[in-house]
Amino acid sequence: MNHEEYRIEHDSLGEMRVPAERLYGAQTQRSLLNFPIGNERMPAEIISAFAILKKACALTNEELSILPSEKASLICEVCDEILSGGLGREFPLSVWQTGSGTQTNMNVNEVIAGRGNQIAGKELLHPNDDVNCSQSSNDTFPTAMHIAAACSLHEHLLPQIDETAKVLRELEEKNKDVIKIGRTHLMDAVPLTFAQEIFGWRGMLESSRSQIETACEALYPLAIGGTAVGTGLNAPEGFAARTAARISELTSLPFVSEENKFHALTSRDALVFAHGALKGLAANMMKIANDVRLLASGPRCGLGEITIPENEPGSSIMPGKVNPTQCESVTMVAVQVMGNDAAIGFAASQGNFELNVFLPVIIFNFLQSARLLADSLSSFRQRCLAGIRPNRAVMEQNLSKSLMLVTSLSPVIGYENAAKIAQHAHKEGLTLKQAALASGLIDEKTFDEAADPKKML
């Protein structure tokens, strides 16, 4: 860099050259130089969570007469600018940095101070003494993790679950009268309506939603106020509870101060628990997507019981081929979420003494899972589920051929006799009715009454 392209900043280790146009300072620049690893950057959700946190801390410090109003107002102004989507280029740090997230905490502190001083036209804010007042990276980063995680679930993922469940409910209404053969173990089973099958899918999503909401309860207690090791050193009395209350006001979520700050700093069990609910959703989405693509398989040599939207050509060599690409996308997302769950579990198990030092990788994977699941649900709903149509002719044909209607005969002639009829029909290529009448165990009228699919629902 030419002299005109940089300015000299300093931290406790000495001077650093920082690009002249950047608002951040020496510690951010050191992190950029020391961790040139991968392309993964600290998620925007974490930066927004830090802006909420720093604003809440400034207001509490002002209320407790720790920070002058001029400084607190300036910090809040910059935090609002960050929350409105500004200053994004000022947060370039890699996920693969210090395990406590200290450098991202200082990145935020430096940017707020730099931008605040720019607005004020004078050197008013210090990143440590003012923006980080009453705080430590060891309590701010875990707090930002919980804020980012809970907000991402409530603002993005849960609404997408609701919208998808709504589409499935509409499909149920349209398909109440459509009777089809059920399948267990990939083999023929007894009948059900297509609406009942869809109801099962909707139940999976609604169950996952309930589990995610329950998991959010574990995210609401916050570490802020514990400072370096959980003792609250350098944080004034009442700081933790007041700051948590302000965060709750800013997010409209019921955040509170964690009573046991030692647990709050060293354990990441709440994020493990919450991500477990995301893994449960991923498993359910995998199952639904697999059902859809199997039911739509064909169009002539598969099950072909439903049709799904034809969104794009499916083959570069086979003309006219269309594939269930939305289903494939969902299942890839599910696999990624399951992998993320393993990474989060391993990382959370590695807390040593008073601090876990795998924080960035935990929240990176958590937020990626929440984002992928939300986006995947949106795409799958709009480009696949909403366009599902039953192939009634195929469903009726499969229903009429099924031998599992014999189940309705068990109460009449007994399980073993019914099994013999089904086996004879399959071996001889007969219909179930032909085999039943040939057995002499049941007459036609009794068979027709017992083996009516509508009575088996």
Q: Which residues are catalytic?
A: 185, 315
Paired strand residues for 256: 221
Angle, alpha carbons 449-452-456 (nearest 5°): 115
CA-CA distance, 220 to 222, in Å (whole number)?
6
Alpha-helical (H) ranges within 349-414 are 359-383, 392-401, 410-413
Q: Are 394 and 305 in contact (CB under 8 A)?
A: yes
The H or E element containing residue 170 is: helix 158-174
Paired strand residues for 192: 180
DSSP string of 295-353? Answer: HT--SSSS---EE----S---SSSTT----HHHHHHHHHHHHHHHHHHHHHHHHTT-BT
Q: Are 32 and 23 in contact (CB under 8 A)?
A: no
Determine the residue type at 27: Q
User: CA nearest 125: which of 191, 181, 79, 165?
Assistant: 79
Q: Are 34 and 80 in contact (CB under 8 A)?
A: no
Q: Are 140 and 103 in contact (CB under 8 A)?
A: no
Sheet strands (E) in 400-442: none
Q: Is 14 helix (H, G, I), strand (E, B) or coil?
A: strand
Q: Are 421 and 432 in contact (CB under 8 A)?
A: yes
Q: Are 93 and 31 in contact (CB under 8 A)?
A: yes
Q: Number of helices and strands (H, E) in the chain?
A: 17, 8
- β-pairing, 187-193 vs 221-222, is unpaired
- β-pairing, 256-257 vs 221-222, is parallel
- In whole angstroms, how large is the CA radius of gyration of the chain? 30
CB proximity list for 259: less than 8 A, separation 6 or greater? 221
Task: Enter the DSSP assignment of 192.
Answer: E
